[in-house]
Amino acid sequence: MRKKLHSQLWIYFTFFIFFTILFVLIVFILLIFLLRKYNLLANNHNDPLFPMVVVMLISLLIGVALSGFIGRKILQPIGNLREAMGQVAKGDFSIQLTENQKIKDVNQLYHDFNVMVKELRSIESMRHDFVSNVSHEFKTPIATIKGYVQLLQDEELSTMDRETYLHRMLDGANQLSYLTDNILRLTKLENQEIGLDYQSFRLDEQIREVILFLQPKWEPLNIELDLDLPKVYYKGNEELLYHVWLNIVENGIKYNQENGKISVEVSSSRNQVSVSISDNGLGMSEKTVQHAFDKFYQNDHSRKAKGNGLGLSLVKRIINLHDGEVNIKSKLDQGSTVTVVLPIK
């Protein structure tokens, strides 16, 4: 692409130089013709070359003026690009170049520049989110661990209290580890537009694996499972979709009550696969539903359940990478239903 663009720009400048020389030559010939027609060349016998020199100087001045005018017009877009790059180098990622250039290759350069600035702006925004939000999320578990470390320094602490504090410190460390893993995974996915590894697999079996994996969490709560999982093959990224069902089902457990219920229904057609996961737990308000997919957003229930506000952001991003849709319907104290629709390609 770069080689093709370079050759096309070279052709433009070659034609520009050629036509400039041609124009100067035409002006020179025209002036000679006019001078000979009006016998101006023969009047100066002392210096017969003088009129010729005058003609050459006039032609040269006209050529230089024309070259400067046309060259400025041609190089002005490059100058604009250089100025814009200088602004980006200073940290201004809001600048955009208007893509209406007459030269197709320059217009392509403008487009590539705008795409680059957009990506840099996204990375900068992501960095800002990481610093502001992540630092806040790290404070609670770090403060917890620090507090229990100070308590453990008490030599008169009983064995039972010591074990309790160590267990809570482990919870804080696990929370930090889970938060870090989710941040890294989400950051990687937000920078990924193409290149997912797709393979065909049993979607129903994958959901069963998730439910079995989470058995230590739903079994103590005596949660009833209602599963409708017909055999369905789907071609997508198996590893990423595993995290989708893991997050949604785990939320259904986390925000449920003892003797609650979780329903999972899978259906398919020629064009799409639909997965609906419902619970009769705490539910969400309309405001929470609106912000459910926002990074680090937490309501009161999620804070009590030690959530970090990243699970559904991951779900949303993974489904978007599969060109699918995900939506939530929920009512307070009645439960929630998360529906994922994946296109069959």
Q: Over the stretch 38-56, which tens digit does the pLDDT of each residue have?
A: 766 555 555 556 666 666 7
Integer Cα distance of 186 and 134 in angstroms? 12
Q: Is the pLDDT of residue 234 over 70?
A: yes
Q: Is the pLDDT of residue 35 over 90?
A: no
Q: Do domains 131-190 and 199-343 have the same CATH topology?
A: no
Integer Cα distance of 189 and 183 in angstroms? 10
* Matching CATH number, 199-343, of 1.10.10.10, 3.30.565.10, 3.40.50.300, 3.30.470.20: 3.30.565.10
Residue 193: Cβ within 10 Å count: 10
Q: Which residues contact 2 (CB under 8 A, 6 or more apart)?
A: none
Q: Which residues contact 213 (CB under 8 A, 6 or more apart)?
A: 246
Integer Cα distance of 319 and 341 in angstroms? 8
Give the closest residue to 327 by CA, choosing from 285, 264, 276, 279: 276
> What whole-number percentage of the chain has pLDDT above 90?
24
Q: Tokens standing for 294?
A: 């926002």
Q: Tokens standing for 266?
A: 């899978």
| The predicted structure's pLDDT at residue 222 | 94
Integer Cα distance of 322 and 317 in angstroms? 9
Which residue in this structure is represented by tokens 């100070």? 150
Residue boundaries of the structural domains of the chain = 2-92, 131-190, 199-343
Q: Is the pLDDT of residue 302 over 60?
A: no
Polymer length of the chain: 345
* Range among 95-99, 130-134, 163-167, 183-187 rated most confident: 163-167
Integer Cα distance of 64 and 324 in angstroms? 60
pLDDT digits (tens, 9 = 90+) for 95-111: 888 887 767 777 888 88
Give the closest residue to 50 by CA, choosing from 60, 59, 40: 40
| The predicted structure's pLDDT at residue 78 | 77
Helix axes 159-190, 311-321, angle to 10 degrees: 30
CA distances from 89 to 82, 121, 125 (A): 10, 12, 16
Average pLDDT over residues 218-239: 93
DSSP for residue 134: I
Q: Is the pLDDT of residue 158 over 70?
A: yes
Q: Where are the alpha helices (DSSP H) in the chain?
A: 2-37, 50-89, 104-129, 135-152, 159-190, 203-213, 215-218, 238-254, 286-290, 300-304, 311-321
Q: In this structure, which amino acid lies at residue 14?
A: T
The CATH number that domain 131-190 falls under is 1.10.287.130
Q: Is the pLDDT of residue 233 over 90?
A: yes
With beta carbons less than 8 A apart as the criterion, state whether 210 and 242 touch: yes
The residue ranges of DSSP E strands in 128-258, in sequence order, are: 199-202, 224-228, 233-236
